[in-house]
Chain A
Amino acid sequence: MSEIALVSSPFVGLEKAQEGKKYVNDLTTLNLGPTHPATHGIFQNILTMDGETIIDAEQTVGYIHRAFEKIAERRPFYQITTLTDRMNYCSSPINNMGWHMTVEKLLGIEVPKRAQYIRVIMMELARIADHIICNSILAVDTGALTGFLYVMQWREHIYEIYEEMCGARLTTNMGRFGGMERDLSKEAIRKINVLLDDFPAVLLEFEGLVKRNRIFMDRTIDVGAISGERALNYGFTGPNLRAAGIDYDVRAMNPYSSYEDFDFEIPVGTKGDTYDRFLVRGEEMWQSLKIIKQALNNLPEGSYHADAPHYYLPDKKEVYSNMEALIYHFKIVMGEIDAPVGEVYHSVEGGNGELGFYLVSDGGRAPYRLKFRRPCYIYYQAFPEMIKGSTLSDAIVTMSSMNVIAGELDV
């Protein structure tokens, strides 16, 4: 290929990329998205390409921005739970619990051990569901559909457990301030036990199909790599940061909901490439199973919710027979109960990393300000740096392995 002299281009991005450089081919601008079957969500990337090689990329975000932070300023606290569902919709229980814990911190509610353990079980199930999607779709993006179908069945099973716990599947609205809305039912325990017994074999089968697969390894090793130092500077958290070799996990560093009671390991990678992210997520699923097993075996006796009548919806039977319960029910549902003045930051380990809630309350019925720290939004900034110099197909795989969820990205 001979070098072609470049003429000035009408595209701003191109001119910037071409400053003082010579490329093999004429640079082209490629518009990837906003709707593209390979990006799993509404993401637009304007890529500047030199033949097959990506020179520069610019992401456009905000396609499904729904102004959650503004809506939250007029909603009673309990109605905000439904907003958190719609952030990372692959693992909504984690978002719900994170929000509940933030408000409990503000209200000073002590949650009983049993409720904390049930929460841990639900959060770890959500983490498995989240990682199943990310890893299996990464495999699909590299051309392996079979494994995806195997594990997707088990995501369905996890959704059935959600259904058993809260009646919903995707946007769960699970739990209440002070605990859970209902105890673990016999059916839920049976289903969790089925998962613990049968899922490991399926996960092993999936890993057997993909993990040491030559094609998969060729497509992912050294693709979309980022160093630990850069990852920290870009605010990475969660599996993506751990794949780069930094063992920061909110569950271990700032334990919440009794995570300190459980014995689990935090897998870390070395290179921060797509393959490491895949391995870290894969191993985290095993660790989650371990945590669920421990929580279920050591499930403490007691109440599944705190005694906080001002904030916890009373039992329906009570509402129909007891005057006080009726009053509390009415006041809670109408959002008539004021929260104390205060500023709280609480974070949980979401499917993608540190999911933080910064809540400023002025003593009213709704937050004065609520800021969500969404891990996706923060680490997606690094995408151009990670794909520079690689090919378009590598960019797709990199994006897939970063697990960028549109709902969390845009709130």
Chain B
Amino acid sequence: MTNEQIAQDLIAQFGEDNIFGIVENYGILNVTTTTDTIVPLMHYLYQHPTFKFQFLTDLGGIHFPDVPSHEFGVIYHLHSLENNVRLIIKLYVSRENIVVPTITGLYACANWMEREAFDFYGIIFSGHPKLERILNAEDMDYHPLRKEYPLEDATRQDKIDALFGR
């Protein structure tokens, strides 16, 4: 079972409109998908008789403010423990509609991972049992890992990011 086989199988199953951006980074297959496909895709990979991607290693958000209509991303790290193959699935949504379906129905561990992504990026996971802030204080009104949130204390004048080449 090679990365190419997995990619071919996924394209055959879900079509090229829903599985794209296929690259291999340091031996790990990366595919990009759409919000409508993510839940069926996860279930398909979980139940596949040979792939058996049944372990969710990690889930995290990412923010690309300069990419129009794909500002926010969710990155899923799957691991097939039986075949020892890893797979990264990416999913991008626009700033206007940051809603991604939850996968807590399939993986219990996705609960806090999704809460963390919500906390830091404001990505809304529809259907999540308890989408609340987890690491930050409940009364925060911003999402701190978004790129527009300043790296330094915004009130300080002596530490301008541009001066430090950031």
**B contact residues, total (Cβ < 8 Å):** 38
Question: A330 at the A/B interface (Cβ < 8 Å)?
Answer: no
Besides A62-B134, A232-B81, A377-B116, 5 more A-B contacts (Cβ < 8 Å) are A65-B136, A232-B55, A343-B25, A381-B108, A382-B108
Asked whether, in the complex, the Cβ of A365 is within 8 Å of the Cβ of B136, the reply is no
Question: B151 at the A/B interface (Cβ < 8 Å)?
Answer: yes
Q: Which residues of A contact B30 (CB under 8 A)?
A: 343
Contact with A along B40-51 (1 / 0, CB 8 A): 000000000000
Asked whether, in the complex, the Cβ of A373 is within 8 Å of the Cβ of B58, the reply is yes
Asked whether, in the complex, the Cβ of B135 is within 8 Å of the Cβ of A378, the reply is no
Question: A300 at the A/B interface (Cβ < 8 Å)?
Answer: no
Closest to A232 in B: B55
9 closest cross-chain pairs (CB), A and B? A235-B109, A62-B135, A371-B60, A373-B58, A74-B151, A65-B135, A233-B108, A343-B25, A234-B108
Q: Which residues of A contact B111 (CB under 8 A)?
A: 381
Q: Which residues of B contact A70 (CB under 8 A)?
A: 144-145, 149, 151
Contact with B along A338-379 (1 / 0, CB 8 A): 000011110100000010101010001110010101000111
- Specify which of B77, B81, B108, B149 is in contact with A248 (CB 8 Å cutoff): B81
Within residues 58 to 102 of chain B, which ones have a CB less than 8 A from any CB in chain A?
A: 58, 60, 62-63, 75, 77, 81, 84, 86, 88
Known: A69-B120, A70-B151, A343-B25. A373 touches B112 (CB 8 A): no
Contact with B along A247-274 (1 / 0, CB 8 A): 0100001100000000000000000000
Complex Cα spacing A379 to B111, Å: 11
Question: A222 at the A/B interface (Cβ < 8 Å)?
Answer: no
Complex Cα spacing A253 to B116, Å: 28
Question: A61 at the A/B interface (Cβ < 8 Å)?
Answer: yes
Q: Which residues of B contact A360 (CB under 8 A)?
A: 62
Known: A356-B77, A371-B58, A371-B60. A381 touches B109 (CB 8 A): yes
Question: B19 at the A/B interface (Cβ < 8 Å)?
Answer: no
Asked whether, in the complex, the Cβ of B58 is within 8 Å of the Cβ of A356, the reply is yes
Asked whether, in the complex, the Cβ of A342 is within 8 Å of the Cβ of B25, the reply is yes
Q: Which residues of B contact A62 (CB under 8 A)?
A: 134-137
Q: Which residues of A contact B116 (CB under 8 A)?
A: 377
- Specify which of B108, B109, B145 is in contact with A69 (CB 8 Å cutoff): B145
Contact with B along A369-409 (1 / 0, CB 8 A): 10101000111011000000000000000000000000000
Q: Which residues of B contact A254 (CB under 8 A)?
A: 84
Closest to B165 in A: A365
Asked whether, in the complex, the Cβ of A73 is within 8 Å of the Cβ of B109, the reply is no
Asked whether, in the complex, the Cβ of B113 is within 8 Å of the Cβ of A378, the reply is yes
Complex Cα spacing A343 to B136, Å: 27
Question: A105 at the A/B interface (Cβ < 8 Å)?
Answer: yes
Q: How far is the CB of B78 from chain A (nearest CB, A)?
A: 11
Q: Which residues of A contact B137 (CB under 8 A)?
A: 62
- Specify which of B60, B107, B120 is in contact with A233 (CB 8 Å cutoff): B107
Q: How far is the CB of B65 from chain A (nearest CB, A)?
A: 11
Asked whether, in the complex, the Cβ of B57 is within 8 Å of the Cβ of A356, the reply is yes
Complex Cα spacing A369 to B147, Å: 10
Asked whether, in the complex, the Cβ of B60 is within 8 Å of the Cβ of A381, the reply is no
Q: How far is the CB of B112 from chain A (nearest CB, A)?
A: 5
Q: Which residues of A contact B161 (CB under 8 A)?
A: 74
Question: B54 at the A/B interface (Cβ < 8 Å)?
Answer: yes
Q: Which residues of B contact A366 (CB under 8 A)?
A: 166
Closest to A342 in B: B25
Asked whether, in the complex, the Cβ of B135 is within 8 Å of the Cβ of A234, the reply is no
